[in-house]
């Protein structure tokens, strides 16, 4: 019991601290690394609650794919974050005020926390005993929650269409790679042996035009 409590507070404290560092650190690469740390700690909390599947998904999807993608984007885009944050200080008083109000409200919310007697019975899909939680998710995801699953798929489709519509430029006069043409090339097409006679050299025009022809 005490060990569980110790680990809970360990994960929770590191999670909150690293979440704070995500927004506080000056270097955006550090921010992303703190974000990864936050994800890993959240996964630890999931494991402690007995949701191993969610924990693994969090690590695989968020740490393995999303955060690494962020890291690449941050490193490739040359955005001067320090400059972006320059004016942020003047909004500090207003931000502190709003944050303070939110904190007070949250304290009120948590202070009034009471779970009614009927609520635990209202849970729509309790985990059946005797199977793992991965199995339990699998049992409801494509049956009871298939509607939500399908809409989520449509949303991803929209995201894909949107990204392509907004970023794909069809430029004329651009040279594209033709993989089939490259694969069809043989040594005979790619090079030829030329006998160079002494003192006469090569007709440079002839060679360069033939080279261009075989390379295309």
Partner 1 sequence: MNNLTSLQALQPILPEIALAVGAMVLLMLAVFAGDRAARFVNTLCILLLIGVGVLVAMQPAGRIAMFGDGFVVDGFARFLKLLTLVGSAGALILSLDYLTREKLQKAEFGVLVLLATLGMMLLISANDLIALYLGLELMSLPLYVIASSNRDNAKSTEAGLKYFVLGALSSGMLLYGASLIYGFTGTVNFAGIAKAVQGGAGIGLIFGLVFLFAGFCFKISAVPFHMWTPDVYEGAPTPVTAFFAAAPKVAGIAIFVRASVVAFPGITHSWQQIVVFVSIASMALGAFAAIGQKNIKRLMAYSSIGHMGFALVGLAAGTAEGVQGVLIYMTIYVGMTLGTFAVILSMRRDGVMVENISDLSGMSRTHPTMAFMLAMLLFSLAGVPPLAGFFGKFYVFLAAINAGLYTLAVIGVLSSVVGAFYYLSIVKVMYFDQPAPAFQRIPALVGLMMLVFGTLNIVFFLYPAPLIGAATAAAKSLF
| Binding footprint of partner 1 on the chain (CB under 8 A) | 105, 108-110, 112-116, 118-120, 122-124, 144-148, 151-152, 154-155, 157-159, 161-162, 164-166
Cβ closer to partner 1: 169 or 197? 169
Locate 122 and state its tokens: 């209202």
* Smallest distance, partner 1 to C-beta of residue 192, A: 40
> What crossing angle do the helices spanning 2-24 and 28-48 adopt, rounded to 10°?
160
For partner 1, the closer of residues 10 and 49 by Cβ is 49
54: left (phi over 0), alpha (psi -120 to 50) or beta: alpha
Please, what is the minimum distance in Å from the beta carbon of residue 160 to partner 1?
A: 10
Distance (Å) of CA 79 to CA 56, 117, 179: 32, 53, 35
Distance CA 48, CA 8 (A): 8
Q: Which is nearer to partner 1, 171 or 197 (CB)?
A: 171
Closest distance to partner 1 from the beta carbon of 12 (Å) = 17
State the sign of the Cα–Cα–Cα–Cα dihedral 106, 108, 111, 112.
Answer: negative
User: 101 vs 189, which CB is nearer to partner 1?
Assistant: 101
Smallest gap from residue 98 Cβ to partner 1 (A): 13
């Amino acid at each position: 019991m005490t060990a569980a409590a110790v680990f809970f507070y360990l994960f929770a404290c590191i999670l909150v601290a690293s979440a704070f560092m995500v927004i506080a650190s000056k270097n955006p690469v550090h921010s992303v690394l703190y974000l990864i740390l936050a994800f890993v700690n959240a996964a630890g909390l999931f494991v402690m609650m007995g949701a191993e599947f969610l924990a693994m998904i969090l690590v695989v999807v968020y740490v393995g794919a999303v955060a690494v993608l962020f890291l690449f984007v941050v490193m490739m885009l040359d955005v001067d974050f320090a400059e972006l944050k320059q004016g942020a200080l003047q909004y500090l008083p207003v931000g502190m005020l709003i944050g303070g109000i939110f904190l007070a409200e949250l304290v009120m919310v948590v202070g009034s926390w009471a779970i009614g007697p009927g609520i635990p019975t209202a849970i729509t899909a309790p985990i059946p005993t005797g199977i793992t939680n991965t199995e339990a998710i699998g049992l409801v995801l494509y049956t009871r929650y298939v509607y939500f699953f399908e809409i989520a798929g449509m949303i991803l489709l929209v995201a894909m269409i949107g990204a392509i519509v907004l970023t794909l430029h069809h430029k004329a006069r651009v040279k594209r790679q033709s993989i089939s043409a490259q694969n069809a090339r043989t040594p005979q097409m790619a090079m030829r042996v030329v006998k160079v006679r002494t003192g006469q050299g090569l007709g440079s025009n002839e060679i360069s035009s033939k080279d261009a022809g075989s390379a295309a």
